A and B are shown apart, each in its own frame.
Chain A
Amino acid sequence: MSQTQEKYVGQSIDRVEDAALLTGSAMFSDHLPTRSGTLHAAILRSPHAHAEIAAIDVSRARAMPGVAAVLTGEDVKDISDPFLIVLRQPILQWALAVGKVRYVGEPVVVALATDRYRAEDALSAVEIAYRTLEPAVDPEAATEEGAPLVHEAVGSNIVSVRDFAYGDPDAAFAEADRVVKLKISYPRNSHTPLEGFVASVAYDAATESYDVQSNFQGPYSTHTVISKALRVSSSRLRMRTPAFSGGGFGVKVQVFPYIVLMGAASKIVGRPVKWVEDRLEHLSGAAAAPNRVISIEAAVKNDGTITGFRFDQLDDYGAFLRAPMPGPLYRMHGILTGAYDVKNLAVTNRLVLTNKCPSGMIRGFGGPQMYYAIERLVQRIAVELELDHYEVIRKNLVPAGVFPYRAAAGALLDSGDYPAALEKAEKEGKLAELRKRRDEARAEGRLYGIGFAAIVEPAQSNMGYLSNILPLEERRKNPKGGAVSNATVNIDPLGTVNVTADSIPQGQGHMTVLSQIVADNLGLKPGDIHVNLEHDTAKDAWSIATGNYSSRFTSSTAVAADRAAKKARAKLARIASQTLNVPADRLEFGNGKIYAADNPDNAVNLYRVAGSAHWTPGNLPDDMEPGIREIGSWSPPELEPPNDKDQINSSLTYGFVFDFCGVEIDRDTGAVKIDKYVTMHDSGTLLNPRLAEGQVHGAFAWAVGCALHEEFAYGEDGSFLNGTFADYLVPTAWEVPEPQIVHMETPSLVTPLGAKGVGEGNCMSTPVCIANAVCDALGIENVTLPLSPNKVSALIHGEERPPPDGAEAPSAAREVAGNVIAGAGEAFVKSPPGEVWAALLDPEKLASVIPGCHALERVDENDYRAEVSIGAGPVKGRFKANVRLSDLDPPNAATLTGALTGMLGLSEGSGRVTLAPKDGGTALSYDYRIEVSGTVAAVGGRMLEGAARALVRQFFERFATVLGGGEVAVADEAAPSWWTRLLAALGIGR
């Protein structure tokens, strides 16, 4: 009999998750059963970036059919506490806004009803009076004296400043041949998982405990934040997560404020409550990676050697500092020198708050921002010293043969050979050919550039890294470090193997990899291993580090499962040793059997051995516990708390990524085309190479989005401008090229499986690599992402020239002014001006022609009030309109000013309309300027303008009909806003 057991770790086996996902039987959070009587929640969010809440009237909403409750911040405040934060600062955040709103999208009211539709109906009847305040939007402006304060009690928008120095940076800069400087600004963006947040909570009054089902992804340090906010001990907060989640990318930790909100709501109404986030809510209010401004300097020698770095980082956390913020600034701290052997480092970290959506945990977690500064700077060093960029990278890399290597700020680089990786990429990626291609393109006058980026990819966070934000004396009192993970291997009476673990998967294939690991240990096939990764804090092992983040799986939970499987194996071997009469350490496992290494025929089936631990526990060795249920726990010793010199090994493993790419820029349109992209990864041992490649592909695609399309845009008044997937542009199959992946496997020395993280490297390397290529193509010093065609074409052609006299600026006006829509247009009605004028001043006539008008009343001679329902794209809502006419010049012209308010947002604007006789009829012409905010502002561009056109046409068509017919010619020069139209319509058609 052949006993040789095939090894599965390292093989690209098919995923065990896929059958359920491909056939649609996998259950995501919204599919999970809820208890009968569950109420459905809808959340009303702030349309203002900064405002005091003067009054909230929910009485009408409460009385609506199917509505069980409508709650405000005051209700929630009574039974919950503000979220714990890492700093001792009075930054108080409850699950609903209390007293003041601080960003567009902040939850203000929650309605609970028998279904989501009725809950949303209720929101439309809530009336809120706001007193708007000046917002702080730009992070640098927010740091200035006199800037509006996001939190008055803090006294400043800068909530933390820390200085660090490693080596002797002053000497390095004093002795440098040259100092190269750059200031970069990294935008806000997010990985936006396709599935939004789900939180379903039932409060049990008898046990005073909360039962939560949610697609929360950890870290479970947040469990503490939730239980403190809900004022219960952690054992009375049961968190359950499903086996399937529609993508996490870090974002899904940020469901936690909603878990608190639904918990509080459930307690107040005494019924289970479920909330499913929609896309508009997600884009405006879930989380964004912090935007960051970095001034970076390098001390360099004339030969390109870098001897020191200086960082001044200003990280913008938006309106609140939610856990686990400010992780993005400190997770990368130990590795602030990147892939380079630089001993001298000075760092200033400043945290600023602004009136934007709170920042959060997003794939890459601080890496994209930091490497954008470092790798842009290295490119500048090459340009300024007239050296080759690739050579400058190579010259400064951490050399081979020095691992483990302690980086200046404390990262312990576990393994690698960076120069060899570079060479491999150069060769396999055919860099020489790419250079030729660039030369040829340039010789033809085309805009072609090559970019490079070398980065170290950290994985498995040290739970103690955030304590580096505290001064040493404070840290000493309570040193924090480590990261515990857990897995259980259970072998049942019939010998089948079950595995549970605390990895909280978000689509990466953890079930498959765990089945590979356990199968290898027990001499079974992956198909024999049943892995269940649903997680339940009431029953499964967990720690504060539990969860799916910082690319930790392969070096954390995978190791815990390996340890559990090894324990199970040792136990089985001891039992089998009695039966086979062979010492346990001379037994092998393979093909479902346990056998003597030197006599494979002396064998017993594994299931029999396992069964005996259940059926005949009396026969087990004396000191052995019955059954086989083995827990593996693991915390790597290298994850120590920060030392007295502020050095911190912020992560456990450090992979290496080296990218280069060629881009071509269309001179006319400014479109950036990625012509070739090569990405070299040394992520240690690959447990399942196909899954590892999948991680690279996914990170790369998002990074292409960040480089070219994705940015959360805010107007100067803090209004949020791209709240749909038609406005926040996620790359499609058409925009993402296939990268060439080059692998190298240098096993990690600090994890038993030799594996490192692989899922975040390209988020860090690719945006800057593409930016470097664009700078190379255009010969420019700096660029800011995303490199949208209009931005790039401005770099090529200069800012757009003003339009010729009399013409409105084309639709770029919208983009330039953010949330301001301005424009002009004309219409023709076949009645003379006198009749038109009279009709426009007749409330009854007007009410009948205004699309969606429910009621129109004249409150004063020239003041009108109306209620209208209007929709644009996915949003539809009821608005109150107030319009005032002035500068009346009957029947020739009028000015109108007005405002619309409703749950979807508001607008304010003014316009002038003129009527002139023409061919027996009337030519109407108008111009206007409108500012919008709230959800409606976020439904930008296409949808808003499309809706506007439809509405204006409708208005004039109906108007013409009322006036006895006539042909309608509506000319839109700058796509007019439907708001304008409504204002226009309400006062007088303009």
Chain B
Amino acid sequence: MPQLNRDTRHAISFTLNGKPAQGHAEPRMLLSDFLVHELGLTSVHVGCEHGVCGACTVRIDGAVGRACLTFAVQVDGKKVDTVESLTPEEGGLNELQKSFRSNHGLQCGYCTPGILMSLSAYLEENPKPSEDELRDMLSGHLCRCTGYVNIVRAVMEHVGNAP
């Protein structure tokens, strides 16, 4: 691992949602702050900054990670995906997002991008989860508005496991 100088803004190049992105950050800058305040992303939300709520969840080289527990300099040379990456080529919403809409799986929507990012990875591994499995996975996210009922419904309907 290269030694970074703490007072220097280091150049960072990485792939953000399939496109090249660059910026500068001091070593201590969080990835969440970097994406929002340096790159202007509105899809990254911060709810706790200590890894519990899941609102800041992104994918880093495909793996699900908390942007609030990652330093920006750590993604240099890597591939970062946020909820924008889910938009299908023709635009609009993907099928899971549509299911969230039709099932009222979001209210304030602050938790939603993080949940969608976790789901996007999870459903690749487990495309047809049982409700218990899904709830277990969702327990890594806090939502204060929905009581989770309609989030669960949205996903179960999407995977074709609706009761």
A724 to B51, CA, bound (A): 10
Interface residues on A, range: 35 or more
Interface string of B24-56 (1 = CB under 8 A from A): 001011000100100001111111111111010
Interface residues as binary, A692-703 with B (CB distance below 8 Å gives 1, 0 otherwise) = 011001111110
Q: Identify whether the interface residues of B are mostly helix, strand, loop, or mixed.
A: loop
Is the C-beta of B80 less than 8 angstroms from some C-beta in chain A? Answer: no
Q: Note all chain B residues with C-beta closer than 8 A to A116.
A: 33
Note all chain B residues with C-beta closer than 8 A to A694: 104, 107, 145-146, 150
Which of B51, B104, B109, B144 counts the most A-chain CB atoms under 10 A from its CB? B144
Q: Which residues of A contact B45 (CB under 8 A)?
A: 28, 194-195, 246
User: In the complex, are the beta carbons of B146 and A24 less than 8 A apart?
Assistant: no
Number of interface residues of B (CB under 8 A): 58
Near B by CB (< 8 A), chain A positions 20-54 give 21-28, 30-31
- In the complex, how many angstroms separate the beta carbon of B84 from the nearest chain A beta carbon? 6
Question: Are B110 and A28 touching (Cβ within 8 A)?
Answer: yes
**Contact: A22 with B100, CB < 8 Å?**
yes
Q: Closest approach, in angstroms, between the C-beta of A755 and any C-beta of chain B? A: 18
Interface of A is mostly: loop
Interchain CB contact under 8 A, A509 and B107: yes
Chain B residue nearest to A738 (CB atoms) is B149
Contact with B along A701-715 (1 / 0, CB 8 A): 110000000000000
Q: How far is the CB of A192 from chain B (nearest CB, A)?
A: 7
B73 within 8 A of A: no
User: Given the complex, which residues of A lie within 8 Å of B142, measured CB to CB?
Assistant: 194, 725, 730, 732
| B83, CB-defined interface residue at 8 Å | yes
Chain A residues contacting B50 (CB-CB under 8 Å) are: 279, 724-726, 873-874
B57: Cβ under 8 A from any A Cβ: no
Q: How far is the CB of A685 from chain B (nearest CB, A)?
A: 19
Residues of B within 8 A of A6 (CB): none
Closest to B7 in A: A65
A726–B142 alpha-carbon span in the complex (Å): 11
Chain A residues near B52 (CB-CB < 8 A):
724-726
Which residues of B approach A to under 8 Å, CB–CB?
26, 28-29, 33, 36, 41-53, 55, 82-84, 86-87, 92-93, 97, 100-102, 104, 106-113, 116, 134-136, 138-152
Cβ of B66 to closest chain A Cβ, rounded Å:
11
In the complex, the answer to whether B110 meets A247 with C-beta atoms within 8 Å is yes
Most chain B CB within 10 A, of A278, A507, A732, is at A732
Residue of A nearest to B143 (CB): A194
Q: How far is the CA of A609 from the CA of B50 in the complex (A)?
A: 57
Q: What residues on B are CB-neighbors of A247 within 8 Å?
A: 107-108, 110, 144-145
Q: Chain A residue with minimal CB distance to B112? A: A21
Docked Cα-Cα span, A15 to B136, in Å, equals 28
Tell me the complex Cα distance, A9–B111, Å. Answer: 28
Given the interface contacts A14-B101, A698-B147, A733-B152, does A24 sit within 8 Å of B49 by beta carbon? Answer: no
A residues 209-247 near B (Cβ < 8 Å) are 244-247
B84 contacts A730, C-beta separation under 8 Å:
no
Bound-state Cα–Cα, A692 to B46, Å: 27
**A residues in contact with B97, CB < 8 Å:** 22-23
How many contacts A-B (CB < 8 Å)?
Answer: 175
Closest 8 CB pairs of A and B: A24-B43, A507-B108, A21-B109, A246-B110, A701-B147, A697-B147, A874-B50, A733-B138
Closest to B30 in A: A117
| Contact assessment for B84 and A23 in the assembled complex, using a CB-CB cutoff below 8 Å | yes
Inter-chain contact B146/A697, CB cutoff 8 Å: yes
CB of A691 closer than 8 Å to a CB of B: yes
Contact across chains for A24 and B106 when beta carbons are under 8 A apart? no
- Tell me the minimal C-beta distance from B144 to chain A in angstroms: 5
**Which chain B positions have C-beta within 8 A of A26?**
42, 109
B residues within 8 A CB of A196? Answer: 47
B108 touches A506 (CB 8 A): yes
- A249 in the interface, Cβ–Cβ < 8 Å? yes
Chain A hits for B135, CB < 8 A = 733-734
> What would 25 A/B residue contacts be, using CB atoms closer than 8 Å?
A14-B101, A19-B92, A22-B93, A22-B113, A22-B116, A25-B43, A193-B144, A194-B108, A246-B108, A247-B145, A508-B107, A691-B104, A693-B104, A694-B145, A697-B147, A697-B149, A724-B48, A726-B50, A732-B148, A733-B135, A733-B152, A734-B135, A734-B139, A736-B147, A738-B152
Determine if A194 and B42 form an interchain contact, defined as CB atoms under 8 angstroms apart: no
| Contact residues, A238-287 vs B (CB, 8 A) | 244-249, 278-279
* Contact B84 A24, beta carbon cutoff 8 Å: yes
CB-based contact B82/A30 at 8 Å: no
**Is there a chain B Cβ closer than 8 Å to A863's Cβ?**
no
Q: Are A22 and B152 in contact (CB under 8 A)?
A: no
| Cβ contacts under 8 Å, B148 to chain A | 697, 701, 732-733, 736
Closest residue of A by beta carbon distance from B111 = A194
Give the distance in Å from the alpha carbon of A167 to the alpha carbon of B142 in the complex.
47
User: With an 8 A cutoff between CB atoms, is A191 at the interface?
Assistant: yes
Contact partners of A509 in chain B: CB under 8 A: 107
- The residues of B that contact A698 with a CB separation of less than 8 Å are 107, 144-147
Q: Is B113 within 8 A of A24, CB to CB?
A: yes
Inter-chain contact B108/A244, CB cutoff 8 Å: yes
| Neighbouring B residues of A701 by C-beta, 8 Å | 144, 146-148
Contact bitstring A114-144, B, C-beta under 8 A = 1, else 0: 0011000000000000000000000000000
Docked pose: A98 CA to B81 CA in angstroms: 47
Q: How far is the CB of A553 from chain B (nearest CB, A)?
A: 13
Residues of B within 8 A of A195 (CB): 45, 47, 108, 110
Give residues 501-549 of A contacting B (CB, 8 Å).
506-509
Q: How near does chain B come to A735, taking the closest CB pair, in angstroms?
A: 8
- B139 in contact with A733 (CB, 8 Å): yes
